Amino acid sequence: MFMPRCFIGFMLPESIKNEVELMQKEVINFPIICKLVERENLHICLSFLGDVENIENIKEKVDMIAKEQPSFNVSVGGLKAVPNEKYIRVLVLDVEDQTECLKKIQKRISQEIGGDSKPSHITLCRVKDVSNKSFVARKIEELKIRKGGEFIINSIQLIESTLIRSGPIYSVIYESKLMS
């Protein structure tokens, strides 16, 4: 039986994708070897589910969570290294949420659906090698203070991740609007 590989989150709006691509253009000039996240795959993940059996059950729970939460604004924060600047595996942009609505939604998803939940962020690239760690750490510090655009979160999406040789392809398979 086929089980799709999924996560719960949302794809970024086009205006924010433009900002993220500008930051990616700066990052590729760092002394690193990395794979950038493709424009069409830019997203914020609230919970990685992995292979899922009962999509209908997940859709019902996403609807229930969405009905409890009004739309809210978040903004793009500065650059961060994951897990840290001494051992860089991923470069991300922080997602700033003054209302803490993302945390509330993540907590509800964790309680009702499960999955692997990390602090909200936008992945720029996966890092394979860093040839000058002190230079990269300095650049990250400089870019930590940069703030990006603001956008509205008005839905929760169930997204399928299909792995192919060139990388993942993300498809929104279900969307539930937040209460208005």
Active-site residue list: 43, 121
Cis upstream peptide for 83 (omega within 30°): yes
What are residue 38's phi and psi, to 5 degrees?
A: -65, 145
What is the rounded CA–CA span in Å between residue 139 and residue 27? 9
β-partners of residue 34 are 127
What is the rounded CA–CA span in Å between residue 134 and residue 157? 38
What are residue 58's phi and psi, to 5 degrees?
A: -65, -45
Q: How far is CA 158 from the centre of its chain?
A: 13
